[in-house]
Structure 1
Amino acid sequence: MSQHFVIIVAAGSGSRMSSDLPKQYMLLDAKPILMHTIDQFAKANVQANIILVISESMQAFWDEQCKEYAFHTSYQICYGGASRFQSVKNGLRYIQKNYELSPGDVIGVHDAARPLVSQTLIENLYQSCKPENPAIIPAVQSSNSVRLGSLKESKAVDRDQVWLVQTPQVFEASLFQEAYKQEEESTFTDDASVIEKMSNGLTIYPGDHKNIKITFKEDIAIAQYYLNNTI
């Protein structure tokens, strides 16, 4: 039976939130955002080993939150690096050190600040990741008009050709391991871009507009609205 893993990247500082507290530790529906995210994977029918990557400096604070909110969901923890790429790589190293990976195993990566990811989407992504489709990324089409360029010069782009990428992004383990042997580049903004550098075998899976990433303070209010009105 194949093994499933998810690396939840929670080592970021959340600078765009204009707060000293990283967004993943802020409260949503009376508990930290990160706890919502972990629970969605724990409840999904994929039996994923959850690898939480956090900043070492936030370990004590997270431990206190777990005590305060009686959070007992099972997960494993490792520390992040200087960038998202390095944090994911640390998560991968943790998996490699503690598990024997085999053909058919699947590794997913998810943003800690996407707490509304549905269990159905998680399950469908992992089920869709197969040798013939070794890299699956969820995305939604843009509903807005799109322009490409700078403030001074831009041109219209067909929005039907524009996809807004989400997480979790899931990959066949051997492909994922090979991709993360590469040196980090500034264009590596997500795991799909890392995979794409060495393989063009990415498959888009229809995402969910409610699977928002908490980036600004108003996003918390939007997420609360979705929770209040059932995901």
Structure 2
Amino acid sequence: MEQRKKIAVIVAGGAGTRMGSATPKQFLELAGRPVLYHTIAAFVNAYADMQVVLVVPEAHFGPARQVLEGFAAPPPVTLVKGGETRFHSVKNGLQTVQEKAVVFVHDGVRPLLSAALIHSCYEQALLHGNAIPVTDVKDSLREVNGTGNKAVNREQFRIIQTPQTFLSEQLLPAFELPYDPLFTDEATVVERLGHRIHLVAGEESNIKITRPLDLVIAQALLNG
């Protein structure tokens, strides 16, 4: 299989509002380390040649550098200023990609992804151009509209995770498109250019930490 440069664009722009904390959620402590530390470590431990682009608000550069100082050997991380929206933040991060690569775009507050998932996304992106991790919907769903609601078949839906992973030839041209509020994630941007989106199995433990309960669950998962 072809080998490519590997770049993880980690977007960490949360303010911690839903956490009810003055500390942004990516800097909250999880198992003795900031959440963001675990996220970065997952990527640099998955591949020895992984490069990380960390996209954070300029006001968070100081705390971000403190996170990096927590590593025994400082990983190869480039700090980039975030933008007005996730789209603009990712676009800023992609400005650092100067050659063909497999690019992982990941939420900074998903710290529990495994090396196996990162490997799967990398390998499937090489085969299909992109790889989007998903999990099954386990709850019943209803579609709500202006006149009422109706049951829908949950088998036809999937829950989207990150890292959303792409060949740079797909991802970089897509982010030259004008911003559209309908761009809810990177897959929707790439899809706009006509690329077919390839889904891969995600992980139930790959949770996004947005509320206090999520931090409790993440701690329990780390405890085994």
Segments of 4+ in structure 1 off by > 6 A? none
Unaligned runs of 5+ in 2: none
Gap change, CA 1:113 and 1:133, over 3 Å in 2: same
Contact 2:68–2:75, Cα closer than 8 Å, also in 1: no
| Displacement after TM superposition at 1:70 (Å) | 5.2
CA shift, 1:196, in A, is 1.4
- Quick one: which of 156, 163, 176 aligns to 1:161? 156
Q: How does 1:86-101 map to 2 (within 5 A)?
A: 86-96=88-98, 101=99
Tell me what 2:201 maps to: 206
Matched with 1:84 is 86
Name the % identity: 35
Deviation at 1:90, TM superposition (A): 0.3
- Report the Cα offset of residue 29 of structure 1: 0.5
**Corresponding residue for residue 16 of structure 1:** 18
State the distance in 2 between where 1:178 and 1:66 align. Answer: 31
CA contact (8 A) 1:46 1:123 kept: no
Q: Matches of residues 1-231 of structure 1 in structure 2 within 5 Å?
A: 1-45=3-47, 47-67=49-69, 69=70, 72-96=74-98, 101-102=99-100, 105-130=101-126, 133-150=128-145, 153-229=148-224
Q: 1:46 to 1:129 in 2, by over 3 A?
A: farther
Contact 1:4/1:46 (CA < 8 Å) preserved in 2? no
CA 1:152/1:52 → structure 2, altered by over 3 Å: closer, same or farther?
Answer: same
Q: Give the TM-score taking structure 2 as reference length.
A: 0.92
Separation of aligned partners in 1, 2:17 and 2:177:
27
Which residue identity lines up with residue 228 of structure 1 in the other structure? N
Partner SS state of residue 205, structure 1: strand
| SS of equivalent residue, structure 1 residue 129 | helix
Q: Please, which moves more after superposition, 205-214 or 74-83? A: 74-83
Equivalent position SS for 1:184: coil
Q: For 1:134 and 1:123, how far apart are their aligned partners in 2?
A: 15
Q: Alpha carbon RMSD of aligned pairs, Å? A: 1.7
Contact 1:110–1:168 (CA under 8 A) maintained in structure 2: yes
Offset from partner CA, 1:77-104 (integer Å, 9 cap, x none):
11111111010000001223xxxx13xx
Contact 1:46–1:126 (CA<8 Å) still a contact in 2? Answer: no
Where structure 1 has 5 or more consecutive residues not aligned to the other structure, the ranges are none
Question: How many aligned residue pairs are there?
Answer: 221
Closer/same/farther in 2, CA of residues 76 and 186 from structure 1, 3 Å limit:
same
Question: Secondary structure of the equivalent of 1:210?
Answer: coil
CA deviation string 1:112-159 (max 9, x = no partner)? 0000001100011101112x5112100001011011115972111111
Cα distance 1:42–1:70, how it changes in 2: closer, same or farther (>3 A)? closer
Decide whether the 8 Å contact of 1:11 with 1:79 is kept in 2. Answer: no
